[in-house]
């Protein structure tokens, strides 16, 4: 037993500890948000889709697991790669969130901690899925990783968030201790060819294709099997460092993989592979995007109540997957759930704020602490109903 009083200490957007009680409360709030109306409750309590969620411990992957379980009665095996508590630090927020969801969902959520890029881990997860479900109805791919080891060559690839062709200056909203938020500028050098290739290897569709191919090879694709990889298109304001940069190349590869899977290994089975373009959100992975703190703060201000959480986006995705309310697809076959973010009126107002001088941007921010509050919640801090002055048990076991 290891009890500690935990504080949100760290550097920049990276905190050293996560709070287990706060992380559990966040999961409770997500469950409440995802829960169906009374008229749909009986259907949600029945056996639903047999599902694999890859990247299930945070952001859209966690939201997809919650929405599937509590909105449509899905049974989920979730894979993530999280770190337990050590002598010096608490476990990661993902470790605690995954444990909280397992405790609440019971047999409908079976989490596994391991590297999704490792063929041995993939084989073990599919063995478990075969024993538990027989076949899989839905595979949701929501993986954002900093590195990947090639299973054949052993080479380690590192992802990079950089522009291509020309440098880029990004303004970030920073939160110095004890002082009001301020803007800080960072200049990014363009990526070299090796960095582009490495980012595609980590963040592209190669691993997604391996999972689907192995499922097909084992005869585990249920009739009407659907698989969706979560992606992001984003605004033209962030395009130089995101969609037109290294990550954009990886997303292009991910999206082309959907078509290759549907016309290849899934052909003739009635199964489909698509990508879902979701909206910007404060997540562990989005924090790596230069300028995202400013962009999201301004988006929150402009969009207001139209801004959808990861759970609300995931409810819309599951409504599509179950045929309740099909999502709109674009001319490339991508599901478009980013309609409110890319609304022309929203983007026009964002452009006005985005290009204003530093002083004007800060003066027009009506809720400058919003991003910091959302950041803290990723680590279980600043959550209503948690007494942060009390010691809490940090050495929690992985769910059996």
Between these two residues, 266 and 326, which has the higher pLDDT value?
Answer: 266
pLDDT in tens, 136-174: 999 999 999 999 998 889 999 999 999 999 999 999 988
**Helices then strands (H, E): number in the chain?**
13, 15
Q: How many CB atoms lie within 10 A of CB 131?
A: 8
Q: Is the pLDDT of residue 41 over 70?
A: no
What is the band of 115 on the pLDDT scale with cuts at 50, 70, 90? very high
pLDDT in tens, 8-38: 998 888 899 999 999 999 999 999 999 876 5
Are 151 and 240 spatial neighbours (Cβ–Cβ below 8 Å)?
no
The reported pLDDT for the residue numbered 195 is: 97
Q: Is the pLDDT of residue 281 over 60?
A: yes
Percentage of the chain beyond pLDDT 90 is: 80
What is the band of 135 on the pLDDT scale with cuts at 50, 70, 90? very high
The reported pLDDT for the residue numbered 326 is: 83
Q: Is the pLDDT of residue 314 over 80?
A: yes
The reported pLDDT for the residue numbered 20 is: 98
The reported pLDDT for the residue numbered 392 is: 97
Are 60 and 276 spatial neighbours (Cβ–Cβ below 8 Å)?
no
The reported pLDDT for the residue numbered 264 is: 96
Q: Is the pLDDT of residue 270 over 70?
A: yes
Beta pairing, strands 392-393 & 335-336: unpaired
- CA 334 to chain centroid, in Å, comes to 17
The reported pLDDT for the residue numbered 37 is: 63
pLDDT averaged over every residue in the chain: 93
pLDDT in tens, 70-106: 999 999 999 999 999 999 999 999 999 999 999 999 9
**E-assigned strand segments in 87-246:** 109-113, 136-141, 147-149, 156-158, 168-174, 182-188, 221-232
Q: Could you tell me which residues are beta bridge partners of residue 54?
A: 79, 141
The reported pLDDT for the residue numbered 250 is: 96
Going along the chain from its start, the domains and CATH numbers come out as 13-393 (3.40.50.720)
Average pLDDT over residues 386-393: 97
Q: Is the pLDDT of residue 237 over 80?
A: yes
3-state secondary structure of 247: helix
Percentage of the chain beyond pLDDT 70 is: 97
The reported pLDDT for the residue numbered 389 is: 97
What is the band of 40 on the pLDDT scale with cuts at 50, 70, 90? low
The two tokens of residue 6 are: 């935990």
**Helix or strand (DSSP H, E) at 259:** helix 246-263
The reported pLDDT for the residue numbered 118 is: 96
The reported pLDDT for the residue numbered 39 is: 53
**Of 157, 168, 242, 295, which is the active-site residue?**
242
pLDDT in tens, 187-220: 999 999 999 999 999 999 999 999 999 999 999 9
Between these two residues, 269 and 64, which has the higher pLDDT value?
Answer: 64
Between these two residues, 44 and 238, which has the higher pLDDT value?
Answer: 238
The reported pLDDT for the residue numbered 288 is: 85
Average pLDDT over residues 345-355: 95
The two tokens of residue 98 are: 């995954």
What is the band of 43 on the pLDDT scale with cuts at 50, 70, 90? low
* First-to-last C-alpha distance (Å) of the chain: 18
Assess whether 242 carries a catalytic annotation. yes
The two tokens of residue 229 are: 């990889």
């Amino acid at each position: 037993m290891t009890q500690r009083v935990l504080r949100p200490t760290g550097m920049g957007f990276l905190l050293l500890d996560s709070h287990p009680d706060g992380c559990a409360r966040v999961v409770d709030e997500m469950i409440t948000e995802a829960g169906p109306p009374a008229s749909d409750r009986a259907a949600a309590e029945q056996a639903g889709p047999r599902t694999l969620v890859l990247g299930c411990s945070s952001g859209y992957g966690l939201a997809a697991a919650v929405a599937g379980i509590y909105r449509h009665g899905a049974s989920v095996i979730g894979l993530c790669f999280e770190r337990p508590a050590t002598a010096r630090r608490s476990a990661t927020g993902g470790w605690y969130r995954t444990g909280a969801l397992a405790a609440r969902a019971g047999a409908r959520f079976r989490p596994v901690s391991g590297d999704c890029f490792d063929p041995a881990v993939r084989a073990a997860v599919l063995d478990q899925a075969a024993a538990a479900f027989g076949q899989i109805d839905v595979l949701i791919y929501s993986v954002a990783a900093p590195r990947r080891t090639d299973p054949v060559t052993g080479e380690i690839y590192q992802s990079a968030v950089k522009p291509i062709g020309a440098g880029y200056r990004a303004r970030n909203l920073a939160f110095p201790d004890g002082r009001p938020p301020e803007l800080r500028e960072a200049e990014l050098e363009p990526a070299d060819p090796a960095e582009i290739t490495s980012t595609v290897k980590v963040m592209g569709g190669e691993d997604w294709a391996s999972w689907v191919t192995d499922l097909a090879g084992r005869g585990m694709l249920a009739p009407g099997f659907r698989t969706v990889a979560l992606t992001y298109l984003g605004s033209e304001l962030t395009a130089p460092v995101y969609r037109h940069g290294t990550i954009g190349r990886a997303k292009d590869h991910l999206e082309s993989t959907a078509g290759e899977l549907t016309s290849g290994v899934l052909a003739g089975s009635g199964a489909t592979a698509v990508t879902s373009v979701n909206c910007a959100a404060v997540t562990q992975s989005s924090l790596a995007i230069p300028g995202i703190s400013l962009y999201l703060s301004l988006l929150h201000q402009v969009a207001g109540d139209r801004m959808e959480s990861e759970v609300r986006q995931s409810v819309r995705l599951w409504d599509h997957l179950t045929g309740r309310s099909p999502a709109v697809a674009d001319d490339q076959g991508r599901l478009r759930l980013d309609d409110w973010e890319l609304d022309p009126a929203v983007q026009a107002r964002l452009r006005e704020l985005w290009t204003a001088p530093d002083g004007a941007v800060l003066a027009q921010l009506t809720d400058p602490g919003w991003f910091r509050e959302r950041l803290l919640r990723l680590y279980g801090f600043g959550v209503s109903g948690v007494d942060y002055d009390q010691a809490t048990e940090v050495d929690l076991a992985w769910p059996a």
